[in-house]
Amino acid sequence: MTVKTLIQKPKPNLLRQFANFTRTTAGLEKTCRLIQSLAQLAIELDITPGSTTTAQWQTARSQIALTRRFFRFFAFIDCFSQVYGLLGGAQGQGLFMTLIEIGRWSCLGLYLVLEDLTILHALGVHPVAWNTPVLVEAFKFWFYSLALSVIGAVWGLLSTSSSSASSKTGSDEKKNKKKNAEKTVSNTDDSQTKAQRTALMKRIVVDGCDLLIPGVFVGWMHVSDLMIGVTMVISTVVSGGDAWVKAQGRPADEQFILSFTPSPRIIYKHTKPLRGSTSRASDKADGDPKGSVIMNIALPDVATQA
């Protein structure tokens, strides 16, 4: 029997993890967004008094915001691709959630298209008089998209809670039938449900915080710029956590694989009699005066249990 073990790779240091994070598009965009939100806080809190310093912070904030627009310049393609997939029935979900998702991605795509139309004005290449009205309409679509996203996430939480409660009731009724198998399936379902609920709660926090930005811009909400900066930091940190983990590739590094050769079912021959053996060969059969025991050992599939 040969045992091959792949040892877990050492966890990279924090600097290496940050480098992996910023090498991805999402990671670099989140980093710029965090710096922009911190600049917003520095302006509102007046950390470094002085008109010159405040002007520098404002310039940094506007330039970083302009830089971030290039990261999402072609993002409308993904949004409309999502809509096309939903219209084609690519994702099996209820009618209400399908309509919510179609409206969400459609509004987000329209926001990105309208924002892209004003990029030359923002760069100072081709100033136009209709820049502000177009941006106002764009931010309205962004507000609609975020609002629909929050509604869909809340509906998903309610649906997940009801489905988990019904599955728990069903498992209680069948408690005496196939107890071990049902326990394994129940644990898997619970972990999946917990992961779904965590993702939905993060989505509510992130989109709920970002909802203030277009709401204030179009005049539908009255919130201070300091509060907007705080909510930007919160949404960036929460959404950036998933991007950080994904950039490190941890699921692939944390796998432990044990492979056995030959087949998991082997025949082991012992030269001495063992108590409680399953089959005993006679002295004449093996030519062994001491007798022998032939044991069939079925090894479990360790690779699937690890």
Tell me: the pLDDT tens digits for 97-129?
999 999 999 999 999 999 999 999 999 999 999
Split at pLDDT 50, 70, 90, the class of 164 is low
Indicate whether this model's pTM tops 0.85.
no
The values of phi and psi at residue 303, to 5°, are -65, -35
**Is residue 6 one of the residues assigned to a domain?**
no
Rounded distance between C-alpha atoms, residue 40 and residue 32, angstroms: 12
**Is residue 296 one of the residues assigned to a domain?**
no
**Is residue 287 one of the residues assigned to a domain?**
no
Percentage of the chain exceeding pLDDT 90: 58
Task: Report the DSSP pairing between strands 265-270 and 280-281.
Answer: unpaired
What's the number of CA atoms in the CB half-sphere (13 Å) around residue 213?
A: 21
Q: Which two tokens stand for residue 4?
A: 């091959």
Please name the residue ranges forming H helices in 46-130: 51-71, 75-87, 95-117, 119-123
**Is residue 272 one of the residues assigned to a domain?**
no
Displacement of CA 285 from its chain's centroid (Å): 63
**Is residue 255 one of the residues assigned to a domain?**
no
**Is residue 120 one of the residues assigned to a domain?**
yes
Displacement of CA 165 from its chain's centroid (Å): 24
**Is residue 149 one of the residues assigned to a domain?**
yes
Residue 268, beta-bridge partner list: 295
**Is residue 208 one of the residues assigned to a domain?**
yes
Task: Specify burial of residue 146 (Cβ count, 10 A radius: 0-12, 13-18, 19+).
Answer: buried
**Domains contained in the chain, number:** 1
Q: Which of 83-97, 99-113, 201-215 shows the lowest per-residue confidence on average (mean pLDDT)?
A: 83-97
* Host domain of residue 151: 14-163+195-250
Tell me: the pLDDT tens digits for 230-253?
999 999 999 999 999 999 885 433
Rounded distance between C-alpha atoms, residue 155 and residue 142, angstroms: 20
**Confidence (pLDDT) at 62:** 95
